[in-house]
Every structure is written in structure tokens, then in C-alpha cells.
Structure 1
């Protein structure tokens, strides 16, 4: 981990090298992949929520991380792409905020358990595994009393594989996370709603979100 005053530790990557390479290529193909603005569902769901320690899963180019830090959150931001992390760290420096950057896959990150007041996963590209490693890592990171927020594009998980490289069956969706929630959790929001979509950036054409917000009771 490091803060906004230094580049992310790109030589300390923990995770699947093929996943890192794939996402580095996607980011390198465009000067800016995302809109540069925080995700609308994140902004809406955090209204009235007390600030604390937050984990931003799949932080991309850092728009959510910077917005959270400006709002007073203690931000840890995780990302597999070194290209994206370099851009995110630059945006944090420009904004004058501090973020701890983690260059790793979620399941491999070795995060401190039960230590985040908020775990935010906005449209995450988490690969599905037989043991549910990514889903369980999301849950394990949330502190008692804390909130898990998972947001994704509605309808994708029921689509068949496309003619390219994307197969929805390979990825984790909010319904899979919800299925693991037991009596230690209270589901506060589990719904589909119109997306507050920023102009520009990949994914801007998606019109509906699935929003899962759950609070860890103990």
C-alpha cells in the first residue's frame, strides 16, 4: 500500500498475471476509459452515512476514490490494472487527497478482515470461482456495523456469452453476493432502478442498475 504522494507499488502485484495484462491492455487502449465522475449509485447510497474507513473495489481511474476522500473517508482503493492505478494516483495528487492504493486482485489482496465501515464495489469485474472467493472476500472485509454496497448493470448476468471474450457466467453478480448473506446481515436495499449515468466513458449506455446494500450486524 502507499498514499497519493507516491506512485502505486506496481512491482508488488498480487493476483492473476493474465487478469492484470487484460485490464492493462483495456486501459492502455484509451487515454481515459471512464467518465472521471463518481458513480451515481454510490453518491445516492452514501447520503446520510457517517464517514469512516472505505474499501473501493476495482477503483479504475480513481473517480470514486477521490470523491470519497474529498468527503472525508479514509480510502483504500484496490485495482488489478497498473495503468489504471497510475492514473488514479495522479488524479488523487491533483485533488490534494490521500488514498491507499492496493495493486491486487480482491481474493489475493490479504486485506485486514472486518475492518472497513464501507466496502464499495461499483460494476466490479470479479471472476467467479467454485469456492466463491471474491464474494466471500467482499463480505469478510466489512466491519460489524458496516455496509456492503454492490452495484452492477441490470440484466447482464442473464445474457448469454457474446461473440467476443465476455461470458456473464464467468463473473460475480449482486445476486451471488446476496445469496451468501446470513443472519449476521440485514439487507437494506436490493432493487433494480434507473441508472444515474455520467456522460461519456465505457458503460454509459447501460440504463438500469441493480443495487445491493447490506449492513453487517455482527
Structure 2
């Protein structure tokens, strides 16, 4: 079984000059565009696309990732864009890391921790949301396995409803649980296909 540890991610990022597009993910844009800016935690920030988008809209961002290669690229790009004063980058293994402080927005996109890790990891992230703040979790919906190649590790995927089930209803209002469609290019034949993002948006009381 593949172990997605720090070494795996460092090699994954080293294998390409830019692993991702550098753009913010569509679900972050859809869910956060109308929120007033404040303090944000971007957990699993990669090369920084979401953090840049937030900082450009006056959020103060703490951006955390396991890979120093990714973080070095993100920090260089933040400097180029004039955003260094709004983003603090931090290296950490999210499976063993607890955020400090409280945030108006905590977002984690496409982390896909295995089920034994998922609950405790997301509970720590949820614990960092300030009263009135927003939690946004985005994953590949399990249905994508029939549409595009994904690692044959079904334990990594969860529906938005499964993610929401771990939140205490006395502390949270569930705003959105959705399998939201998105058009992508198929990595093998190049044609356009529709995949779905599992999107959970919740607001702390």
C-alpha cells in the first residue's frame, strides 16, 4: 500500500516544476467569495493557490503543508505577488499537528486522509474555527472512481454527508453537504468528463 508520508510528497513535488495550476479551487471560490475577510487557516496548502486567492482578498492566512518543496514554491510566489505580509507558511504533518489559535475560516481541500486518521484530523481543524466561523472541507467524491483514475484506495474517500456526521449539531450549523459537479479533462484520453467534489460547509455557533 502506498504511504502518503512526507517523503512521498516531497518526491511528488520534486517530480514536476509545478504540480498544480496555481489557481484557487473552485469550491473555495464559490463558498468564500461572499464572506468578510478575517483570519484563515489553509490546511494542506500545497503550492499555495488557495492561500494566494484568500490573501488577495484581504484574508490573513496561515498556510500549512507537509512538503517543504511545495512551501518553498508557495513562499516564492507569494513574494512575487506581493502577498508575503498576509501569508505565513508552516511545515507540519497534519496527521500529528494541532492548530493554535482560532480562525474565521478553516479550509482543507483534497487531503484524503484514511478513515482511521480522518476523524481526529478534521476534529482538530474544526476545533480551530472561531465562534461564527466557517469550516470548508473538500474531497473527491467516492463516485469519481468510476469516471477518472484514482488510487485504488477507497478508504481515502468520503461523501460530504459522512464528513458532516462527525460534527456535533449542538456546536455546528451544516450549511452545505453536496457532491458538486466539475468538468475536467480525462488524464488518459483527454476528453472532458464530469467529476464531483464532496463539499462540506459548516458554521460554528
Q: Select 1:56's aligned residue among 13, 25, 42.
A: 42
Q: Per residue, is there more strand in 1 or in 2?
A: 2
Q: Aligned residue for 1:94?
A: 80
Gaps of 5+ in 2: none
Output aligned runs, 1:174-213, within 5 Å.
Answer: 174-182=160-168, 183-195=170-182, 207-213=195-201
Runs of 4+ with >3 A deviation: 156-159, 170-176
Q: Aligned residue for 1:153?
A: 140
1:215 aligns with 2:194: no
Is the contact between residue 28 and residue 83 of structure 1 (CA under 8 Å) also seen in structure 2? yes
Q: Aligned residue for 1:112?
A: 100
Aligned residues: 194
Shift of 1:128: 3.3
Q: Aligned residue for 1:128?
A: 115
1:22 aligns with 2:11: no
Task: State the alpha-carbon separation in 2 of the partners of residues 214 and 195 from structure 1.
Answer: 21
Shift of 1:122: 1.2
Gaps of 5+ in 1: 1-16
Task: State the alpha-carbon separation in 2 of the partners of residues 195 and 90 from structure 1.
Answer: 30
TM-score by length of 2: 0.83
Shift of 1:131: 8.4
**Coordinate RMSD, CA, aligned:** 2.9
TM-score by length of 1: 0.78
Q: Per residue, is there more helix in 1 or in 2?
A: 2
Task: State the alpha-carbon separation in 1 of the partners of residues 93 and 37 from structure 2.
Answer: 25
